[in-house]
Chain A
Amino acid sequence: MKIVNKLLALLFVTTLFGALNSINAQGKYIDKKGKINFEASEKLFEPVKAKNESVTAIINTETSEIASLALMKSFRFKNSLMEEHFNENYIESELYPKATFKGKLLDFNFSKLTEKGEKIAVEGTLELRGHKKSISTILDVYKSSDGKIFMKGSFKVTPQDFAIEIPSIVRNKIAKEILVSFDFKLSKQ
């Protein structure tokens, strides 16, 4: 009888751990090749834009937390001189090599997410060059038939938000507001 009890206890413990593990595994969705574009172009001048196609994004569907990280050196410009100025004069990527976002999806219920998709609000903090800026925006989110989460959105920032000084000589060639758009495809881990 004792042996049966022990066996039952063991069975209980293993199922419990199994269940806990699967919850953990279910909760995490990752994109290692997320895309972020930013555009600060002014009409009549050379486009000021860049894209980064290796952004990391992680969602925990249990807690609705979202985190994202973009390395500054991974932003590619068409014009190499512009890329150099971006890294050396404006972002100072040697000192501040990355931008991070940490936030939360509001009223997000993963199990109710469909292939048709829905609009979901996100709130969080963007950190860049040692400065923090609150971001809140609306995302387009849907789930594909193979269980991936697709997520798109955008928000605006200004150079002042991160204490980036634009020299007067190029001031009218760079937009006052910079549009940052992102596109993530997250797979279950």
Chain B
Amino acid sequence: MKKKIGILVTILIFSLIAATLVYDYTFNSEHRNITEEDASISISANELLSQFQKDENSATTIYLDKVIEVIGKITEVEASSIILNNQVEAELLKLPNKHKVDLKSFVKIKGRCVGYDELLEMVKIDQATIQ
């Protein structure tokens, strides 16, 4: 009898722990960590923008929310972002490091594509890191 109760209590405790873990995983799961994800596509800033300007819908299907690598020349450095070729704006996770972001130098960044901004005529990348 005592043994049965013991087993029951153990099962109960384990299922409670399991339920809590599942709940936590579903409802409080962490945001994606873009830095740790591998880029699915590597592309030049020029090519990326021209694909969005040619056919925004299909470019959206290909690139939206994907982690991509973009290569281009730094044409502007702002408080929290850099602009490549005046075509792609990458919002950096860490503030631009002065040693790494010389104007006019070529860089490769990795980040998540969030879409095309037709007011600025730029493709936007967020959570980016300089590779």
Contacts and interface: CB of A to CB of B under 8 A. Distances in A.
Contacts of A81: 26-29
Contacts of B124: 54, 71, 74
A69 to B, nearest CB: 5
Most buried by B among A32, A54, A81, A98: A32
A98 B115 CA distance: 8
A178 B79 CA distance: 31
Contacts, number: 63
Interface residues of A, number: 22
A97 interface: yes
Interface string A23-45: 00000001011000000000000
Contact of B89 (A32, A80, A83, A93): A32
Interface of B: 26-32, 60-61, 64-65, 78-81, 89, 91, 112, 114-120, 124, 126
Interface of A: 30, 32-33, 54, 56, 58, 67-69, 71-74, 79-81, 83, 87, 93-94, 97-98
